[in-house]
Structure 1
Amino acid sequence: MERVQGKVALITGGARGLGEATGRLFAQEGATVVLTDVLDGDGATVAEEIRAAGGKATYLHQDTTDEAAWTEVVDGIVAEHGRLDIVVNNAGIVVDATVEDTTLEDFRRVNAINNEAVFLGTREAIRVMKDQDPKGGSIVNISSIAGLVGIENLAAYNASKGAVRLFTKSAALHVAKAGYKIRVNSVHPSYTWTPMVQFLGDNTGDRQAFFEALSAVHPLGRPGEPMDIAWGVLYLASDEASWVTGSELVIDGGITAG
């Protein structure tokens, strides 16, 4: 129960889904958790529930596409807690559209949140982690199996998550060769039953039928649950993964194995 004991963690998109599950798990494992999102009511509730359960958590409003806001959030965390050990770049959106149906506006919006914000979060984390005492930390970027394989109706999402995969490797090599003691890894979930995936199900007109279809195509017989992914993020964030960087952790029920 102490796998990230004493560490300070920032988790974007922390109000729901994967971010919420990761925040709750980190707090259970001893971290001080800062959740950020634009869903202020949900985020504040999650932080309050973590505290009520004996964990340490706060919630901050953050538009992850805003460069100045990143600096403000990170500097505020360091000012309050003295350091920043873990950053989980999790905030993300999806547009359900093929390349023919995707507008330039939607393409840019998806990539701004899913890709550019990951760059900003990684850069800001490095800025403070490289000089803190003891220096170092762990950055976990949430990609997707859509960063590994194509999905015909997720053109913009594919582009954004593929970019996260290779950007993560570039950043990991840089900080390792610079001697910063910072690790950078990506996580690649398959369809996980979060509000975002439920939205895709609603777009089909039958959420339950979509759930059953996802269960059928995953070799392990079901779509993912948020905690399935949170456990993987916890491993990468913890000292157990001290020799893991530039890697891609695939958590997908076996769907990309065949």
Structure 2
Amino acid sequence: MGSYDLTGRTALVTGGAQGLGQGMAEALAKAGAAVVIADVQEDLGRQTADAIKQSGASSGFVRLDVTDDDNWAQAVEAVVGEHGGLDIVVNNAGVEITGLVADLNPADVRKMLEVNVLGTSLGVKHAFRAMRPGGVAGNGGAVVNISSVAATIAFPGIAGYSATKSAVDRLTRVAAMESGKLGYGVRVNCVYPGLVPTQMGNQLATDVVDVGLFPSVEEAIGAVVAQTPAGRLGEVADMADAVVFLASDAARFITGTGLPVDGGMGM
């Protein structure tokens, strides 16, 4: 039987300072991994890392702009230097900017493309380079990319975001195939989180009201719940547990797949 025990492994979580990323980092640490918070929010990121340390786990912080190739190389070098390896990379950092297609703002779409697609792509690149045979870590590992239920449904107001998260899904599958064909020993999967009332999720509910799609935040949230067979919004723990599973040996024969954690919304 597979194990969720991650003792002895080192994980890097992008966008780990708050929200879903923070929950994922805490869950990985609880499973036994040493966890490095990678974020542009330095004060908040260090606070999250310190809180994980206070729970008795090993944790640290590295400043990382996921859109910067050189910054990625430096961050991975720092993680391996401090913790002696790198086994898990969670590409969670992302941005969502609501807007109607008829009012599309090119700058907003470019920002989402930069963070959500390029940032995740660079995360996979540097995970591969570190984890593959001959890399600075060199023991294989697991990459978990965070897509979204937005990649699988047609919810109004999030066309640009949906497009970028669909790209994360396709990237995941191609990267998994390359890893297998080239003998990297790195599994690559993604998660499709449903709507979670984090700061980002709450902002989305407000934004779709502001652009005239719903009369109130309550009705916007109600529309999401109505499309969800489980009958509720997601919780941070729902997403974090899925990441731990995909990073663990319990998922040792799973690669190139997307795991919906959306209460059935995207079925």
Q: Which residue identity does 1:254 align to in structure 2?
A: G
2:220 matches 1:241? no
Any unmatched runs of 5+ in structure 1? none
Structure 2 match to 1:52: 54
Q: Deviations over 1:154-193 (max 9, x none)?
A: 1110111011101110010001011111100011111112
Any unmatched runs of 5+ in structure 2? 211-215
How many residues were matched structurally? 257
- The CA deviation at 1:98 is 2.0
**More divergent stretch after superposition (167-176 vs 185-194):** 185-194
| Identity within the alignment, % | 38
SS at match of 2:118: helix
Q: d(CA) in 2 for partners of 1:84 and 1:227?
A: 24
SS at match of 1:214: helix
Structure 2 match to 1:171: 175
5 Å matches for 1:93-112? 93-112=95-114
104, 121, 126: which is aligned to 2:123? 121
Q: d(CA) in 2 for partners of 1:180 and 1:40?
A: 32
Q: d(CA) in 2 for partners of 1:217 and 1:178?
A: 41
5 Å matches for 1:69-80? 69-80=71-82
Q: d(CA) in 2 for partners of 1:58 and 1:91?
A: 17
Q: Deviations over 1:68-116 (max 9, x none)?
A: 1000001111122221000000000101112222211111100100111
5 Å matches for 1:58-73? 58-73=60-75
Q: Which residue identity does 2:263 align to in structure 1?
A: G
Q: TM-score, normalised by structure 2?
A: 0.91
2:164 matches 1:154? no
- The CA deviation at 1:20 is 0.4
CA contact (8 A) 1:11 1:33 kept: yes
Q: TM-score, normalised by structure 1?
A: 0.94
Q: Which residue identity does 1:234 align to in structure 2?
A: V
Q: d(CA) in 1 for partners of 2:5 and 2:223?
A: 36
- The CA deviation at 1:151 is 2.5
SS at match of 1:249: strand
175, 196, 199: which is aligned to 1:195? 199
